[in-house]
Each structure stands twice: as structure tokens, then as C-alpha cells.
Amino acid sequence: MAKSLTDKIIEEHLVEATDTEYALRIDQTLTQDATGTMAYLEFEAIGLDRVKTEVSVSYVDHNTLQTGFENADDHRFLQDVAARYGVFFSRPGNGICHQVHLERFGAPGKTLLGSDSHTPTGGGIGMLAIGAGGLDVAAAMAGMPFNIPKPKVVSIVLKSSLQPWVSAKDVILEILRRLTVKGGVGRIFEYSGPGVRSLSVPERATITNMGAELGATTSIFPSDEVTLAFLKAQGREKVFRPLAADKGARYDEIIEIDLGQLEPLAACPHSPDQVVSVRELSGRKVDQVLIGSCTNSSLKDLLMVAAVLKGKKVHPDTSLAIAPGSRQVLEMLSDDGSLKDIIAAGARILETACGPCIGMGQAPGTGGVSVRTFNRNFHGRSGTASAEVYLASPEVAVACALKGSFIDPRELGASPRVSIPDSFLIDDSMIIKPAAEPHPVEVRRGPNILPLPKRGPMEDTLTLTVLLKLSDNITTDDIMPAGSKILPLRSNIEAISRYVFSGIDPDFSEHAKAAGPGCILAGENYGQGSSREHAALAPMHLGIKAVFARSFARIHRSNLINFGILPIVIDNADYSSLAQGATITVKNIHKALSGASALEVFSVSTGTKLGCSLTLSGRESELMREGGLLNYLHKKVRG
């Protein structure tokens, strides 16, 4: 039987399959510092001496802005635990995890699990790369399989090739325009067709990176001669293997995109799927342009930007800042003179880190218009609540920086021709290798690194106050904001929990603690966005026992289960009728988890039975009975 590329990699890594789930062996893991400290605290709590994966890498790329001791202490902790448990450590300044992993560790056909929602970037090199919460990554490092709901596999067939000034960013924006931020939930997107050959690995990685904005489990490209050329340039051709779907492979859905018909696009505030042509925005004043992030900071991206800027000046009313994705990219820009062209044009050079994409600096001015090559433009994520953030390609962004307003880059004339070298600068001196064998290492912990809060076993009956009623597409930024003020508290759950839902209700944490056991009521696609498990862990600390939603984003639903919070689907009619402040009783939880009978949910004020369902796999039910994954793993590993 002809197989898809997705099916082939899943079969190679399949540990167990049920009617609803695949359990997959994980070859590689990655963490970053915003999620990594918690992941390694969780790994410590499991109680093993050494990671059991082929490769695990700890990156420092998110919280490099050191305005206090917290981030520096966490970086030291991460370096110590990497040495202690057999993990590669990519030092601050070495680059963004997804860019560096693509360059130095990614391998076709491997499985990669990362505590960052944009881990599917690895699909650009033919990996089955999936984002997850830190606890799931800790479990994978402990040798446990990773479970995913059986996905639908969607074939996206690319035809022809991109026109000048149109880029890979426009491909994924077009898909977001068609499918929306909910369009990928429960799906894996597999790219094929004659247009694939025209896309470099970094271009493919841009597309798979922003598959996360679709809510997809992951996205993947075949491994072909383009992949081999990229790996040769990185001195890693030994890990190459050709991989593609069989001719005649069957898919759950097929989407066709003619690359030659695409034009420059932009996502308008405040969602990546609010996509229009740049022509429609022409003339709108732009205050700030930022180029970089894990989506568009490759050498190819920045060589193009440098070529456009050469001999020109940034508009006097517009700020341009650029963050290369890795030290490799920065050094190569410097060596060939492109960095000089960028600086001479008036651009500001930022650290090789996530920086403003995660809210670390470069917040726009009041009411400012910011054009960014990033992957998310959620309200307030930039650090300025009144800002209007647009997402666009490097081609569009640099054109806006020169003009001072939105402009279709095709108006600039002939597109510059960018030549990518056959070999890249290789210097892994900022990646610290683990010792061959475990050895005693003193793990230094700053005062902000505190033990994990714990939840006991699941109760049989819960009486809960509806603490917030929310709309559709609530993001993890809404639940647990990021930014330079809050992210340094990520190793201190009590401290960071004070900011849960703070952008919606500044007093939420105090209300939650005063109310006792509580719940959240939400619409469709609750928890879209980041993989940050703090959006489940901090609410658990505040006494949140359940979330009632019309539907859930995949990673956040898993994180809720991992920390013993019931993800209950509620009917639309009952969602509409319930108000914030209502009291709900949840009964028969133990029997519902065992499959003996259905969950019973009532409105206390009316006595009405609510239309609710708790759909869990057998494994998920076992986790919920124990009060979460950490309790389960601790019991399993230590007996």
C-alpha cells in the first residue's frame, strides 16, 4: 500500500497505537530557556540520572535580556543540568533554537519534540518535529514515548515557482488566509509537488514554522537533493537520507497552491490569519520594522535584506532593527560585507535571539504601526497594547522600512539576486557537549528557582466558581503573558501566577485565590499559540480545576491534562447561558475517567444538567486519576 511521508516516519517510530492515539519514540528533544527551566526541574523530579534520547539540546534564546539576576541565574542552572544529565547546551548568543537546530542537529526522518510551539520548523529538513509542553519533553528525555491524537494527514501540493519579491512567508500566509488559525487542529500538513524543488531548506522551514499558527500537529517537507545540499553546506551530509511519499499515497484532504499566482501578503492585527494583499495596505504609515525571529532570520533572508538596503537609507520616520537567527548567520553576514550594508542603511542590529518576538524589547510607541517578519501578532504581545502589529515577509518588511509606509515590494523594481554559498561557516564552540558518562555536577539554583507546585489525585466531585467567561481563540499569551517583566519569573510559579489573565482581569489571581476551587469558561480553540505549560501550571497553582470550552488547541489541552486540569467540552447553548460568577458542580469524575459512566455537570443555581463531555484516551484518563503526568511518572519510575 502506498504510504505518505508522515505515515513512513510514524511507522518507524511507533511504540503503540490505539483507536485514538499514536505513541511515538522520540529521537531528539529541544528546550529553550523560557520553558526549559521548568522542563529540567520536571526531569529532576522524575528521578533519572541521564537523558535517554539520541540528542537533547538546551538552548538559551528567549530570556537573554538581563534586567535582574533571574535570567542569568536560570542560564547558569540550565548549563549545570545539561552537564549533569547529558544534554548539549547552546550558550546565550549562539542563536535561536529552531534556526540552530536546523543548522547543526536536525536530520531527515528523525522525530523531534520541543518545548516550543514552533518546533515544527524541523519539518523543513524532513523531520517529524512536534511542539509540546515542557513536562512532555521531560518525559521524552526520560525515554517515555510521546502520544499524539491520530491526525488527519493533509497534502499541500505546490505548483510552479514563486515570482520575484514573493517569498515562502507568503505561502504560509496564504494557507492561513484560507484555513484560519483553527484550520490545522488535528492535522499534519505534508508538502509535495513540483514547486517543492524550488524552495530552499530555510524557505521550507519558514512554512513549517508557521504551521503552528494553523494549530497543526506539525508540517513536513520531503528530504531531497535540496535537503542534501543544505546538509553538505553545514558539513553534515552523513545524516542525509532521501524521504518522500510513495506515488499514489492517499490523504485525508488535498490542497493545491500555485506558487506563481501568489503576491506579497501581510497579516493584519491581531491574528496571523487576518491576511490581505500588501497592495490593500499601500500608503499606510509604518513606524517600526523588525526582521528576524525563528521564522525569517536565515542567511538567505538577511542576504536579501542587505541587497535591498545596499546604498540606501532607512526612512527617517521609521525604525528598522534586525536580529540574525544564529551566530553562524551573523558571522557570515559580517564576512561578506552584507552586515556593513545593513548598518550603513541605518538599521539597528539586535542580539541573535528571539528578542522582540517574545516581547523582549523593541516595543512600539503608543499606537505605533509595526511590520514584523515574526509568526504572531496577538494583541499586546509586542509590549504595547495600543500597537498595530502586521506580519509580513522580509521582502515586504525591508520595502516598508525604506518607504516609511506600506508598499508592494514589486514597486522597487528588479528583485535582487541572492547567492547562497556552497559551504557555511562551521564553529560549534558555543555549543557545550555533554560528558560521555554521567558525572557529579553541582547544580546551582538562584533564589528565584523554586520547587514545583504539586496537585493531589483527582477528586470525584468538584464544586467550582466560573472565574472568567471568555470568547473564541483565547491564546496562551492571554492566559499567561510573556514579556521582559513576566518571563524572568518562569522558575517561580507562585510569583508568575500573579499575572495569569492579567491582560483581561488585572486582579484575576487574587480573585481566584479568594474564590477557592474555580474553572474557566471559554469558546472555540481555547489555548492557541505557545507551548508554554505555565498557562496550565500557574492556573493549577491558583486552584483552577477545570476548563469548560467549546474546543481546545492541541498543545494546551495536553498541558491541562498534564497538570490535572479537566478539559471539558461544553455545548454552545450552555456556554451561552452560563455567566461569569456561576457555580458548577462536576460529579461522577472517577467513573467517567474509568469509562464506566458519563461525567455529570450541573448549574448549582438552576439545578440544570449541562451538556458537557470529557473525551480522554485511556492513557489520558490514567494521568487525570493520578492528578497529572508528573505524579504518574514519579510513581512509574520510582515504583
Q: Which amino acid is it at 632? A: Y
Question: What dihedral do alpha carbons 186, 133, 202, 412 form, nearest 10°?
Answer: 80
Q: Which amino acid is it at 178? A: R
- Catalytic, 98? Answer no
Burial of 348 per CB tally in 10 Å (0-12, 13-18, 19+)? middle
Catalytic choice (376, 445, 490, 556): 376
Q: Which 8-state DSSP code applies to residue 278?
A: G
| Strand order across the 600-603 sheet | 600-603, 583-587, 462-469, 518-522, 544-549, 566-570, 612-613
**Which CA distances in Å does 304 have to 313, 342, 415?**
16, 11, 9
- Catalytic, 56? Answer no
Q: Are 614 and 566 in contact (CB under 8 A)?
A: yes
Residue 552's DSSP bridge partners are 526
Residue 192's DSSP bridge partners are 157
- Catalytic, 590? Answer no
The DSSP bridge pattern shows strands 566-570 and 544-549 to be parallel
Catalytic choice (7, 27, 62, 491): 62
Local structure of 405: helix, strand or coil: strand
Contacts of the segment 616-622: beta carbons below 8 A, 24+ positions apart: 616/561, 617/18, 617/20, 617/21, 617/147, 617/149, 618/18, 619/18, 619/21, 619/23, 619/147, 620/561, 621/593, 621/594, 621/595
**How many helices and strands (H and E) does the chain possess?**
21, 27
Closest CA to 390 of 294, 216, 207, 265: 265
Phi-psi region of 329 (alpha: psi -120 to 50; beta: other; left: phi over 0): alpha
- Catalytic, 116? Answer yes
Catalytic choice (116, 273, 478, 574): 116
What letters, b where the CB count within 10 A reaches 16 and e where it falls short, cover 84-108?
A: bbbbbbbbbebbbbbbbbbbbbbbb
Catalytic choice (84, 532, 554, 619): 532
Catalytic choice (4, 530, 558, 603): 530
- Catalytic, 376? Answer yes
Active site positions, annotated: 61-62, 116, 376, 530, 532
